[in-house]
Each structure stands twice: as C-alpha cells, then as structure tokens.
Structure 1
Amino acid sequence: MSDLSSTVPLRQLGRLMLEWRNRSGLSQARAAELLEMGASSLARIEKAEITRIKTAVIKEACGIYGVPGDTAEGMIGLAQQAKVKSWWHSYADLMPKNLDVYVGLEAAAVGYVAYQPDLIPGLLQTEAYDRALMKVRWPGEPDEDRDRRVQIKQRRQIAITRKHLPLDLDVVIGQAALHCSVGGPAVMANQLRHLADVSTRENISLRVLPFEAGFPGGIAMSPFVILDFGEPPRGEPTEPPVVYLEGAVGSMYLEERDDVRFHYAAHDVIRQAALEEVVSRNLLRRLAREYSS
C-alpha cells in the first residue's frame, strides 16, 4: 500500500466505474476508446490498481456512462480523496446520501469482525430497533426518507443470510447494549430474541462482553469494524483489510498494517474476555423474557 494515498476511495471508485460501464452496455475496449485511453488503463482504474486518477477522466466517463449528477459528483470526490493517507469520510460534505462508501466496502467483504460496546450492530438490528433509533436521530424526517433508510439496512443484512458465500461475522457486543432500551420493552425483547436466533447460524459468532469483564486490555475501546476481503482470484489485485470507525459527523477508514493488526489484537482480547457463544445466547434469551414480562 502506498504511504501517500488511501485505497478506500480508489476501491469504491473502481467498483462504481465498472458498475456504470456495465449499465451503459459498453465493453471495456469501447469505453476506453471513447475516453481516448488504453483499455489496460481503464482496467487499472476499475481494479483500483492506480494511485492517481485525473478528475477530468472520471467526469468524462460519467458523461459517457450516463451517471446521474449527484453520483457523478461523488465519484469525482472519490478521485480527489484518494490522495489522503487515512481517509476521513464526511457524510454531510463529501458524498451524496445515495453514495455510501462503507456500504460498498461491506458488500464486497467476506469477513466482518466487530466490537460494539453499547449498541446492537447494524447488520443484526431488527427493523423495529432500527426505526426507533432513526426516529430519535432524525425526528423531523419524512416517512418516505425513513423508509428508504430502513430498506438500505435490510438490503445490507441480506449478506449474512444469502445462500451463496454468506458474510462471516465475528461480533462482540457489550452487555450495556442489551440494557440500553431502544423503542421500549417489546422492541428490545424481539431484538434480543433475534440476536439469539441469528447467532445459531454457522457463519455467525456472537459473544456478549459482560459488565464484570471490565476493560479488557486496560483500555475502553470505541466501536470498530474490520472488513476482510479474502483471497482475490488469480490475477486480481489484493484488497487489504480495512478498519472502519464510525463517528457522529464522519467516519475514519484505517488501512495501515499496524492499525489493522492493533484492532485485530484488541478484538482477540475482548473476545477472550467475553462469554462463550452458548452462554451469550442463553443470556440473550433470558433478558428477552425479562423484557417481555
């Protein structure tokens, strides 16, 4: 990985360039001809094998492929952001609402390692839990916008239940998340039952970090997700893991090997301090009964 640039925006830009070229019906050779560039150069952009991309090329491609204005604007922003070493992605200022870089990365991942101390992870939230959170976060939002957000979350969750290569999850949830009421007792009861049920799937490891575990490793870790992209097909570029740190006004993507290793090690320490999977599942079901009563 280059010390001067981030691969995160390059990966997402490459996926979008390939997606919109395919939508336009153009072959790689024909698109390259229209862009007055070599087919190999276009292939390098689509595979995120190039570290510097001229925004004029992306702008021209968007015109040829018929990319809508807001998405085209976001794609140009991705090309500009590629020069940033650890990429800070500001949802409000950089990307349009329908171009979420994290969602693109998550969809391409094969492994998902996460720690969430006080909230149910998005991939494991029930619709009612999700809606209750959104109602508080965006109280004046129109119903149609809220419905759209729910639909996005539900589409993301298909990754863990699909028949072909479901996403592997290794998740630790802090016990506080089980006691912080979201939407009331009925919503929480259904949410905890859902966690218990989904944790029986072969591709999901779910553990609860109990209060009595304190602070494993001696520090209070913030929520984090590590996305792993597995071994690429022969001849394809390698996509290193990415650590995703979500914030209230923006999110940080960490790609440096030391940062990734640190978070993997932190997750191991937290996981070892957490309850075993069966014990965690029993706790979830017991608390669900308590909420129901």
Structure 2
Amino acid sequence: MAEASSLSPPTLRRLEVAAALKRHREALELTTAEVLDATGFSASKLSRIETGNRRVQIPDLVRLCELYGLDNDEQERLTKLVGEARRTTRKPVVDNPDYTDLELAASAIDDYKTTIITGLLQTPDYTVALFRRFQPNIPNDLMEKVINDRRRRQEDIFRRPHPPRLNFVMDEAAIRRVVGGRSTMRGQLEHLARLSSEGPLTLQVIPFSVGAHPGMDGLFTIMSFDEAIRDRVYVDGLLPSTFLVAMEDLQRYRSLFGQLQELSLNPEESERLIGSVARAL
C-alpha cells in the first residue's frame, strides 16, 4: 500500500468512493439510464457521485449498494470511506483544498510553470512578494496564514518517509524574473539550487535558447496515484482552474510534459544555470 493511503485526505476518500461505485456499475454492464430509472436520481446527481464532485449521502450509497448487489463487507468499506470523506480538516487560506488533499496523496507529481516558481518550491519571502503584487491590500494576518499554509504543504511532501516522485519543469523566465527585489530572488534561486542537489526531486529549466515551445501558453500539474482513483491533470491560468481526468487529456498532457523535459537542460545543467543567475543578482 502506498504511503499516501495512511494519510486519508477527505478528497481522496471521496474520489475512491466515486471510482468504486462507477466500477461496480460498469461490472454489471448497467447504463446510467438504467441506474437513473432504478434510483430516481437525476443525471447530474449520478454524474457528480461517479466523478467525486460531490460527497455521496449515506441513503444514496445504500440505494446504490443494494442496486449493485454489493456484499456486506464492501458496503461497510464504502460507508467507512464516506465517513472519512466527511472528516473536517484544516483548509488552506488560498490554495485549492481539493488540490492540496490530492497533492498530499499523490505517488507522482509532474509540474510545469512558465513565469513563476511553483508553490512547493517557493521561499516565504518569494511567496510574500508574489502575493503583495497580486493582492496589494492583503492583511498582514492573512498573509501570515498563507505563508504557514505553504510551509505545511512543503513539509507534508518533503518530509514524508516515502515522498512522491517529483518532477518540476519551468521556463527560464521563472528564474530570470525578479520577484520581491534582488535579495529575495537570490534567496529563492539559492533555495532551488539546494533542492535540486539535495532534495527528493528532479528540477529542469527550459532555456531561452530553445525559442518558442509548446508549453508557452499554459501551466499544469499531473498527479498520479497508487490508489483506486484516476490520475488527473490540474490546469491553471486566467480561466477558472480545473481538473481533467479523461484519458485523452492525460495522454495529451503527459506527452506535452515529456516534450518539455526533452527541451529542458538536464538537472545538472539546470542547477548550474540557476546558480549562475543567482550569483548575478
């Protein structure tokens, strides 16, 4: 069992229930229309249950378990998971709580950013400078909570006995753009260099010399799991952030991430470039 399983974040448990219910329906070769007729659910309700976009209610779970002819052991297992999915946990002030739950449970994370350093690799000073630019009027107490949330996220990932496989790719613009002044940016780059040489991760930089490349207009994170849930892509940007779980989307983004890795400097070359930019500040 993966290390992530013992962490049991509510989002993961909710998605595990969703995947199990869909798997049981498909094993019986029941169509969604047949389930709707038998349960009286609306199409949107069943869809949200099977995608994990809503927590299933116990009466609805019982109805589906009976319809699918599940034995007592499986019903008890799913009921327990539903209870865990309802568990209240600390919600981050800014970061998407579903994202942070899944990040904590992932067995592999492939992350690509264009012009900023990704959250898991940020120093506190860099985070403050970034948020002060995006939200100039953010209160000091809220800013402190953001910093604490980021620090906990980083500790939860990097201090796990068995951290996930971590691959980070960023455009050279992310290390060249000075955020928060020269001292802050130098500290951020020195932090990246230390993580690259000592941390449980792979960090690569796409140099300006490659010119145009297929990742210039987007940023995304691919999360893979050893759990009985589907891998997914988190796409961020100006439009509302979203998770993609369709197989064709996963294949497209995995192919794109592979292309970006091939265009990047290797980890040793990337570390040298980061160090060089830091020393020039």
Match of 1:278, as an amino acid?
E
Equivalent residues, number: 223
Counterpart in the other structure of 1:276: 266
Secondary structure at 1:216 match in 2: coil
Shift of 1:132: 0.6
**2:4 paired with 1:7:** no
**2:78 paired with 1:44:** yes
Report 1:1-293 matches (<5 A): 4-5=47-48, 7-9=51-53, 13=55, 40-41=74-75, 43-44=77-78, 47=81, 100-201=97-198, 203-217=200-214, 220-230=216-226, 232=227, 238-248=228-238, 250-291=240-281
Residues 8 and 119 (structure 1), Cα distance of their counterparts in 2 relative to 1, 3 Å cut: farther
Match of 1:281, as an amino acid?
E
2:218–2:237 contact (8 Å) kept in structure 1: no
Secondary structure at 1:114 match in 2: strand
Shift of 1:46: 5.2
Secondary structure at 2:178 match in 1: coil
Spell out, residue by residue over 1:26-77, the C-alpha distance to the aligned partner (whole angstroms, 9 max, x if none). Answer: xxxxxxxxxxxx88546325547xxxxxxxx99xx97xx7x69x98xxxxxx
Distance between the aligned counterparts of 2:239 and 2:139, measured in 1?
21
Shift of 1:9: 3.4
Counterpart in the other structure of 2:7: none
Distance between the aligned counterparts of 1:109 and 1:155, measured in 2?
16
Match of 1:122, as an amino acid?
G
2:110–2:223 contact (8 Å) kept in structure 1: yes
Residues 8 and 120 (structure 1), Cα distance of their counterparts in 2 relative to 1, 3 Å cut: farther
Distance between the aligned counterparts of 1:151 and 1:168, measured in 2?
24
Distance between the aligned counterparts of 1:125 and 1:8, measured in 2?
30
Shift of 1:179: 1.4
2:219–2:237 contact (8 Å) kept in structure 1: no
Spell out, residue by residue over 1:210-250, the C-alpha distance to the aligned partner (whole angstroms, 9 max, x if none). Answer: 11212335x634000001112x4xxxxx1221100123463
What TM-score, normalized by structure 2, do the two folds share?
Answer: 0.69
Spell out, residue by residue over 1:228-276, the C-alpha distance to the aligned partner (whole angstroms, 9 max, x if none). Answer: 112x4xxxxx122110012346311000011011111000001001101
Shift of 1:141: 1.8
Shift of 1:135: 1.2
Shift of 1:102: 0.8
| Percent identity (aligned) | 26
Distance between the aligned counterparts of 1:124 and 1:98, measured in 2?
14
Shift of 1:167: 2.6
Distance between the aligned counterparts of 1:132 and 1:189, measured in 2?
13
Residues 163 and 244 (structure 1), Cα distance of their counterparts in 2 relative to 1, 3 Å cut: closer
Distance between the aligned counterparts of 2:159 and 2:52, measured in 1?
25
Shift of 1:202: 5.7
What TM-score, normalized by structure 1, do the two folds share?
Answer: 0.67
1:244–1:251 contact (8 Å) kept in structure 2: yes
Secondary structure at 2:198 match in 1: coil
Distance between the aligned counterparts of 1:46 and 1:221, measured in 2?
42
Name whichever structure is richer in helix by fraction.
Answer: 2
